[in-house]
A and B are shown apart, each in its own frame.
Chain A
């Protein structure tokens, strides 16, 4: 048997820069109320959401990603040619193949970086970050760009009062690169496919074949409905506040970090009530800064954690070098939590 030379990576990895892009159009709750029987007060009290951003036709998944990535690359102090891999976490890129990651890698000016998409719902960013850490330490890429991007407005049924107000659009990106010290902790992740039905796409694409359209549901104007994200809100809420607090605690334990050591908590921005409940269950001390970007961004699935991270750093509520617990969870059901040093 011949001896195969192994690849050689960096001792550790860290997040070197973060960037975000929010679509220009800001959508207040009043716009949501045009289509559903609800109230600004109900939406705010049940979800914390006041406004969200919806993308224009020009603000495509690729275009938003390129904007966010450009900022992340600049913040990391590297050039696009140094990027060895581009990982895009999304569920709302509507061309099944090829992956949107290749277009992004090309337009950013990488030197033929490896590029692929990841489908892991609202845990997508954590899944991508974990892959990136592996690539950097194993040696298949020196720098990895991880993007979380969604146009969930395209997957929202505006006539469904259980979800119409929840979702938003945007992109967040980080550059992961080599480090002499550990700055990304162990990932606690997993899936619970027995709960796959609790968050899902209403209608699979293959039911839209010409000839079968007659069996599909219609909206109030009589048009065939587009697929949308639907969920069993209470079941998901229960799972999130109860089970995800345990996962967050496991990620702290795995990293050897106590709540007292923590500076920042960036959970997936699904609902401010889930965030508040997790903060209570984890007994996070007062000094921990908690991301509540949901208020003005809505739930942007895979994009929510990097967007919230970028905003906390830009506003000065968090600073470079802070220790942050991040946890994503959502459709699958899937989850991923880890402790990182902020760039």
Chain B
């Protein structure tokens, strides 16, 4: 079953918490991964790999750089999840 927007944000919050140690409640749609959440370009690769597994999506390297905010990633996953 496809995940809802809330489920995706909650899932991303868990992943970012696990990888960058940011409190889950800080992970909001408008937050930028690099500027607000301490997720640098390499941690972002780890976030993407974890999100791919969790939400059954493929996120190619070329698309990763367009995912600047939690909202961008959520929208991408909503649109592409199997």
Size of interface on A: residues with Cβ below 8 Å to B? 11
Q: How far is the CB of B40 from chain A (nearest CB, A)?
A: 7
Q: Is the pair A232, B61 in contact by a Cβ cutoff of 8 Å? A: yes
Distance between Cα atoms of A235 and B64 in the complex (Å): 11
Contact A273 B61 (CB under 8 A): no
Report yes or no: B40 in contact with A238, Cβ–Cβ below 8 A.
no
Interface of A is mostly: helix
Q: Is A24 part of the binding interface, using a Cβ–Cβ cutoff of 8 Å?
A: no
Tell me, in angstroms, the Cα distance from A10 to B60 when the chains sit together.
48
Judged by a CB distance under 8 angstroms, whether B41 is at the interface is yes
Contact A273 B42 (CB under 8 A): yes
Query: Is A234 in contact with B61, judged by CB distance below 8 angstroms?
Result: yes
Question: Chain B residue with minimal CB distance to A242?
Answer: B49
Asked if A46 contacts B40 (CB within 8 A), the reply is yes
* Count of residues in B whose CB is under 8 Å from the partner chain: 9
Name the distance in Å between A19's Cβ and chain B's nearest Cβ.
33
Q: Which residue of B lies closest to A271 (CB)?
A: B42
In the complex, per-residue mask of A245-288: 1 if CB is within 8 Å of any chain B CB, else 0: 00000000000000000000000000001000100000000000
A79 on the B face (CB < 8 A): no
Scoring A232, A234, A273 by chain B CB atoms within 10 A of each residue's CB, the highest score goes to: A234
A237 touches B45 (CB 8 A): yes
Complex Cα–Cα for A268 and B48 (A)? 23
- Please measure, in the bound complex, the distance between the C-alpha atom of A234 and the C-alpha atom of B64, giving whole angstroms: 10
- Where the two chains meet, the residues of B that have a C-beta atom closer than 8 Å to any C-beta of A are 40-42, 45-46, 48-49, 61, 64
Q: Can you offer 21 A-B residue contacts whose CB atoms are under 8 A?
A: A45-B40, A46-B40, A46-B41, A46-B42, A232-B61, A234-B41, A234-B45, A234-B61, A234-B64, A235-B61, A237-B42, A237-B45, A238-B45, A238-B48, A238-B49, A238-B61, A241-B45, A241-B46, A241-B49, A242-B49, A273-B42
